[in-house]
Each structure stands twice: as C-alpha cells, then as structure tokens.
Amino acid sequence: MFTNKTFLITGIADENSLAMFVAKKIIKNGGKVICTGLGVSEFHQNLSDKAKQFLNQNYLDFQKSVKNELGEDTQTEILDVTLEDSVDAFAKKLKDNNIKIDGFLHAIAMDKTIRQKVVKPMLEVTKEEFCNTMEVSAYSLIRIAQYLYKYDLMQPKSSICSLSYIAAAKVTFHPYRNMSIAKAALERITIELADELGRKDGTRVNAIRFSTYMGSKAGTATLNQSDFDTADKLSPLGNATPDDLANEVIHLFRPNGRITGEIRHVDGGYNIMG
C-alpha cells in the first residue's frame, strides 16, 4: 500500500508510544518513516547544563527505541516544535536530501500543569503554562505544516493525522483541564487545515480521539489503573488497543482516500456514553 511513500512520525518517546505502533504499521505496509524526537541542537544554546543533559538522554532513549523497534536504518532527527529555527532547519534538511513527505502523524503534547498525576485547577493555570501547552500540543500542527509546504516537501494528496482525546469535547471522569483546551484547539485546527489544504493540493487532515491508554509516558503521567478500568467498563466494546489506533491511521493515510476534516473515534464506543 505504501511502496515508495514516506511518512513523518512525531511523538515517539519509547517503544510504548502510540506513534511507535503507527510507525510499525506503516513499515509493515511497505512504507518508510522519518521519526523526530526532542534533543539538543544548535538552537539550544541558552539551556542549562542540567537541561542539556536531560535532552541528550531523552534523544538517546528515543533513538534506541526507534532503532530497536523499527530497524537500524530508520531515520531519526531532532525536532523542537517550540523553536522556529529548529523546524526550519529540519525541513530544509529534508529538502537538501530530496525527501518528499506523503503525510505525517502529529502525536506531540505537553502540559506542565500536570505533575505526579496531579492536575492543576484551571484557576491556577498561568498564562505561560497555558500558552506553552497550546504551542506544543496544538499550534505545532500548523508550524510543522507551514515548513513542510515552505520547502515543497508535501506530495499532492498527502494525509495528515493528529491524536486527540474525548476530553476535547467534554469533561471526563478524570481531570484533564489545561490539556483538554489544547486538544480542542488541535481539533479545530484540523478542520480548518482540512478545508485549506484540501483545496490547495488535495491533502487530507483528520484527528483521532483514542481510548484511555496507560502504556505511554503521557498516559502514566495523568492516569491511574482505576481510570483505565473505568473507561474499559464504560465503553461498549472495552478500551481500544494501540493496534486499533494504528489501523485507523493507516486507513486515513492510504492513497487517494476521500476522508477529511473528521474527528474520528477509536475508543470502543466510549464517546457515545453519557
């Protein structure tokens, strides 16, 4: 299905990341992936030694996971979506290497108001915390697309998919305050880009609301086992699996599809419950 096609995969932290399952499925279907992770680059000069040490270790862990799970020849690159120069340099490198992209997965999210599974109340969220979460978790979809188009890297009729959650639309049984607003923005960006890019070159843009998931670093930062079990009981089919998610992304990535501007649910039916 994906012979001679290349997809950009963001948001891999380790072997249990949802983005990793998507990358595996793309490769299984004959495609290639370029995986990005957060690390120290030439644009991180003002970081403390402690911060640089953290980012260096983060990137080494990311690379190790990608090589182990996807193969030694899988391309990995540093990408910090909060730095315009980083995104520009990344896109320019792809251009210089004559790489074209047939689509990308947006699986990046970050919220500093969540610490040790404790979610800060909205009335205590600072402007900096709010804007930082919005930049990383929502605006980055626009920023990545901007630079891929700036350097003419996107193939016509490509497909873009982002990962969301039901909390973008309603209050859930577990707190998700600040991030829920960013996810709502991400979904609205998805819809606007679907209209804009569909008319521009036939590119499709969709988002998927996935089940409560404990396997990823993001999941363990916000959820307890009881949260996972509650969602599993409430969902008519039980919680969806990472493989279910990967299958849906592959469906949306397939060539010549006609689905765009959709907020899909891969959650075992949790979204239909009151």
For the segment 185-235, what is each residue's pLDDT rounded down to a tens digit?
999 999 999 999 999 999 999 999 999 987 666 656 677 888 889 999 999
Count CB-CB contacts under 10 A for residue 183: 24
pLDDT of residue 226: 87
Dmax (CA) of the chain: 51
pLDDT at 89 over 70: yes
Whole-model pTM above 0.85? yes
pLDDT at 173 over 90: no
Identify which has the larger pLDDT, 46 or 26.
Answer: 26
Domains and CATH numbers, the chain: 6-272 (3.40.50.720)
Cα–Cα distance between 22 and 201 in angstroms, integer?
24
Query: What's the one-letter identity of residue 222?
Result: T
Count CB-CB contacts under 10 A for residue 220: 14
Cα–Cα distance between 81 and 149 in angstroms, integer?
16
Question: pLDDT tens digit string along 108-144?
Answer: 999 999 876 788 999 999 999 999 999 999 999 999 9
pLDDT of residue 8: 98
Average pLDDT on 71-96 reads 96
